[in-house]
Chain A
Amino acid sequence: MAYTTSQPQPGGFLSRLGFGAGARKKPAVAAEEMKRVQFTSPVLPYLFLFPQLAVIFIFFYWPSVQAVSSSFYLEDPFGFGSTFVGLSNYTDVLFSAEYQSIALFTAVFTVLVTFLSLSIGLLLAVKADRVIRGASTYKTLLIAVYAIAAPVSGLIGMMIFDQHVGPFVKMMSYFGWHMQVGLNYYDTAFAMTVVAVWKQIPYNFIFFLSGLQNVPVSVREAAMIDCRSGLRRFWTVVLPLLAPTAFFLLTINVTYALFDTFGIIDVMVKDKPANNPVTLVYKVYADGFRGNDIGGSSAQSVILMIVVFVLTIFQFRFMERRVHYN
């Protein structure tokens, strides 16, 4: 078994992307060097890579290519083949009033969920960073619900907002607001947003808190001397230092609101999406599975892929800026 000294390889652009579910915090700056000492072997590396690559080709690339190709075809509902229809699936989708209203709801929902869960997470992190007594108890309580699955939070939310037994609904009825989650569009949208924000706060809290605790003591002390107003100190010193974390969390939260809330929405609309607000991902699922509209559903998938792609580019731009902050 020979071994050689390799040239530094170009660090992958994608290596900065980090862990899909969340660890995109620190970009690996500049091209990373590969190991100086490596094995060489004509078969072994391929043998080790084979299982991972096989799974990825069969279950990632093949379906992704199929999504793109079937978005140009119209599937016969009785299974007698399919006809090439060019871009008409896309135009049908993009010009349908239903799709446009769902897209609008998705946008509003995403903005609300992102804004609320980021600001509440930041507020709690700032306070938790300050207190000394009970700090670890607060921390535990604030992150305890972090890993609860979306459908489970949807189920609990449904109970809290249930028309017959829900405590929140009872409370609101004293104020003259008679909520009808599941029947009234805006009431359902409200409940969904609250549940989605509830589930995401611990995540943002964890990142903001670790960001705050990375602010050097010397910087804090200097800020204390220069600036007596706590609020001003926060805006002029702490927040700019947190900006990289916030930019990172922004894209994570947008992705969360777009995709990961599927479980919440699916549970809360209870299979009756007709008069309830749903998001674009839900529509991909509903059209493909319930409606059996393969072409339309694939076209929607491709549109969402483009959205994800744009988001990723956007994230890279901010990642570049982030390097300057550090």
Chain B
Amino acid sequence: MYRIRFTDHLILILGALFLCMPVVVAFMTSTHTAADIHSNGLSLAWGDNFIATYEKVLTQKGGFTGDITGARMVMNSLILGIGFAVGKIVLSMLAAYAIVYFRFPMATLSFWVIFTTLLLPLEVRIMPSYQVMSDLGMLNTYSGLIVPLLASATGTFYFRQFFKSVPEELLEAARIDGAGPFKFFIDILVPISRTMIAAIFIIMFVYGWNQYLWPMMMTTDESFFTLMRGIKSILQVWVGSNIPDYNEAFALAILAMLPPVAIVVIFQSWFIKGLTESDK
């Protein structure tokens, strides 16, 4: 086969360095003190301020009202990530079940109505979405953070494809045994979808955890800030300060990237499969 050359490895090593170095630098620098970083620049060596920095970021009350800690932001991000993933799975499994397993006049129309949402990303309808939320009084609530993000067809699409690949014989057999739609769904479809549900859960969790624009608009009350929103406010505090808290900003960035990076590395094969083979 191919002769593997030295340059092949060189290019790969350079690529890996280019992609991973910024993250390593961010982590290593976060273990130094702000003054140290200010005079010596970013660092690749382990500093001795690791515990102090992270303890401060997680527990010190900050913000304008002084009642938001890093730990609170981690919790809010978790609520958003898990709430979004669970909501998405429930809504989309039900909708996909109706579309695939039922014969009813509005099936094609419902299908279209749901799948049109794939066309327009949230970013292009930000303003009116904000207005709708404020009309409904859902600003600064967890449901306001989570529910509007569920208005897309991604999960429904996954489950629809999956349900279609389920052998017909299963339903026929279940019918013969006298199972109705509820029994079939709960006793057969949900158990055989377990792997699929897990895969969608982690993909959607990362998606929810990483949301930026929506939480930024929806939350003005600091007790609802997520980590992503916290990054924005730590930068706003910087303007005008003599020695910016570089270490704290990096620590916040590390906290914010920890779950997504860990999930991608641990569930690598699932993630790649989910991405590249989702619509077979």
Contacts and interface: CB of A to CB of B under 8 A. Distances in A.
A149 B217 contact: no
B8 interface: yes
A1 B181 CA distance: 8
A158 B252 CA distance: 14
A4 to B, nearest CB: 6
Contact of A141 (B19, B42, B209): B19
Contacts of A87: none
A34 B19 contact: no
Given A45-B104, A52-B94, A67-B128, A270 B235 contact: yes
Contact of A37 (B20, B164, B175): B175
A270 B237 CA distance: 11
Nearest to A2: B103
B102 A9 contact: no
A192 to B, nearest CB: 15
Contacts of B124: 67, 259, 281, 284, 301, 304-305, 308
B107 to A, nearest CB: 7
A49 interface: yes
Nearest to A28: B279
A151 B128 contact: no
A164 B38 contact: yes
Nearest to A292: B127
Given A20-B154, A46-B104, A284-B126, A230 B115 contact: no
A116 to B, nearest CB: 12
A224 B1 CA distance: 8
A165 B236 contact: no
B15 A152 contact: no
A48 B95 CA distance: 6
Chain A interface, DSSP helix/strand/loop, else mixed: helix
A58 B253 CA distance: 34
Contact of A132 (B4, B29, B216): B4
Contact of B102 (A41, A134, A263): A41
B264 A144 contact: yes
A147 B261 contact: yes
B264 A143 contact: yes
Contacts of B42: 159-160, 165-167
B189 to A, nearest CB: 12
A3 B180 CA distance: 10
Interface stretch (A78-86, A102-110, A122-130): A122-130
Given A35-B171, A49-B110, A156-B22, A23 B102 contact: no
A222 interface: no
B108 interface: yes
B66 interface: no
B17 to A, nearest CB: 9
A201 to B, nearest CB: 6
Interface residues of B, number: 116
Interface in B225-280: 228, 231-232, 235-236, 238-239, 246, 249-250, 252-253, 256-257, 260-261, 263-265, 268, 271-272, 274-280
Given A35-B164, A52-B94, A144-B265, A159 B246 contact: yes
B212 A12 contact: no
B50 interface: no
Contacts of A301: 124-128
Nearest to B92: A52
Categorize the interface residue count of chain A: 35 or more
A64 B136 CA distance: 16
A46 B107 CA distance: 9
Interface stretch (B52-60, B67-75, B143-151): B143-151
A62 interface: yes
A266 B180 CA distance: 52
Interface string A254-267: 01000100110011
B15 A312 contact: no
B128 A160 contact: no
B249 A20 contact: no
A64 B128 contact: yes
B146 to A, nearest CB: 10
A124 B12 contact: yes
B15 A142 contact: yes
Contacts of A38: 101-103
A45 B96 CA distance: 10
Nearest to B121: A259
B194 to A, nearest CB: 20
Contacts of A46: 98, 104, 106
Given A23-B279, A45-B98, A210 B41 contact: no
Contact of B125 (A64, A120, A151): A64
A6 B279 contact: no
Contacts of B91: 51-52, 55
Contacts of B209: 149
Contacts of A6: 103
Given A49-B94, A66-B131, 9 more contacts: A6-B103, A26-B277, A46-B98, A56-B113, A63-B131, A132-B4, A144-B264, A158-B235, A159-B246
26 contacts: A19-B279, A20-B152, A23-B275, A37-B171, A37-B172, A39-B103, A45-B98, A45-B99, A46-B104, A46-B106, A48-B97, A55-B151, A56-B113, A70-B128, A123-B15, A124-B15, A131-B8, A140-B265, A141-B16, A142-B15, A142-B19, A144-B20, A149-B228, A165-B38, A167-B41, A210-B272
Closest 7 CB pairs of A and B: A147-B260, A23-B278, A149-B210, A63-B128, A288-B127, A48-B98, A66-B128
